[in-house]
Amino acid sequence: MISFGPIPSRRLGKSLGINNIVSPKTCTYNCVYCQVGKTKRHTTEQDAFYLPEVVFREVEKHLRRLKPDNYPDYLTFVSNGEPTLDLNLGESITRLKTLGIPVAVITNASLLNREEVRSSLALADWVSVKVDAANEATWKKLNRPVAGLSFDDYWSGVYLFADEFFGTLCSESMLVRNYNDDAGHLKQLAGMVKELSPQTAYLSIPIRPPAEKHVGRPAAEQLNTAWQLFNSVGLNTELLTGFEGVDAGYTGNAFEDILNITAVHPLREDALLKLLENDQADESVLQSLLHQRLIDKVQYRDKIFYLRHYNATS
């Protein structure tokens, strides 16, 4: 199946997925956390998978079957591997844009040191680049790139693309316990991501069965620290922890407001208390959320923050 969905996405609204990579999983990485499983074809060699007219025809057919209220906000390349390994990616994007729906691509960014890859990817309207590691040792341990890839080339390619791209650029960093979640590494990573000037820097955790069973999620304290460090350098930072949050604000329902806001970013205690006041609620709402383990209370430096609870051991 080439197209699927639409599926709800906090990043993209309703997203119609497009898989432009023929099975088996073909990727430049073999990430320990990958939800698609282990890479079967570990390569940097581009290939022609589906003809662009086939991709276009399948997506167009899919769109005709959708009801008006389920029409996608984006057509998103989210592949069985790395989408930029597709030689026809640029032409497929160009054809799909004639449908009048913005095109998004989620890429691990490992091939962006190649001019032809950057040119093809730049045709998209929205691009997310993977930035999990701030140094070569972490990159090799976590992302497990195929032989022949260079960490320095990878980062230089990401910087070049960020400078050349005129669409919406976002970054996504997957945080894995005991791999890349220590404060020193996170501080370095935040500084490197800052240089990309992404519209949003997303921090995610493994929420689906990973390629390697030992992979775990960082503790709430580490996740909070990551958000604080990214936010402190001026990045618009959001959490992707499996919860669908909405824009911060108050609606009169303090219970839902707290859950929605803490799904996106940690909520400082004074801001939470002000939110309760605006919603005309008392601290019993906060105590109830803590008692039900729906939110976690963590400390960063001398401040208390609250964020949505997740099971860090699973």
Flag whether pLDDT at 257 surpasses 80. Answer: no
Cβ-count burial 159-174 (b if 16+ within 10 Å, e if not) = eebbeebebebbbbbb
Q: How much is the average pLDDT of 18-28?
A: 90
d(CA 81, CA 40): 9
Q: How much is the average pLDDT of 60-67?
A: 90
pLDDT at 172: 96
d(CA 133, CA 4): 30
Q: What is the pLDDT of residues 82-141, one digit of tens each?
A: 999 999 999 999 999 999 999 999 999 999 999 999 999 999 999 999 999 999 999 999
pLDDT at 270: 85
pLDDT at 246: 38
CA proximity to 265, closest of 294, 241, 289: 241
pLDDT at 57: 95
d(CA 194, CA 185): 14
Output the average pLDDT for the chain.
89
Flag whether pLDDT at 300 surpasses 70. Answer: no
- Tokens encoding 146: 């195929």
Ramachandran region of residue 11, left (φ > 0), alpha (ψ -120 to 50) or beta?
Answer: alpha
132 close to 142: Cβ distance less than 8 angstroms: yes
pLDDT at 247: 37
pLDDT at 242: 63
pLDDT at 248: 40
CATH 3.20.20.70 fits 3-240, yes or no: yes
Q: Do domains 3-240 and 254-308 have the same CATH topology?
A: no
Cis peptide before 266 (omega within 30 of 0): no
pLDDT at 263: 63
- Tokens encoding 212: 């390697």
d(CA 277, CA 250): 10
Q: List the domain boundaries for the chain.
A: 3-240, 254-308
Question: Does residue 311 or residue 225 have the better pLDDT?
Answer: 225
CA proximity to 38, closest of 48, 46, 29: 29
pLDDT at 73: 94
User: Binning pLDDT at 50, 70 and 90, where does residue 250 land?
Assistant: low
Q: Which of 20-29, 43-52, 293-302 is most confident?
A: 43-52
User: Binning pLDDT at 50, 70 and 90, where does residue 191 land?
Assistant: very high
d(CA 15, CA 191): 30
Record the pTM: 0.82
d(CA 5, CA 17): 6
8-12, 176-180, 230-234: segment of lowest average pLDDT: 8-12
CATH code of 254-308, in short, is 1.10.10
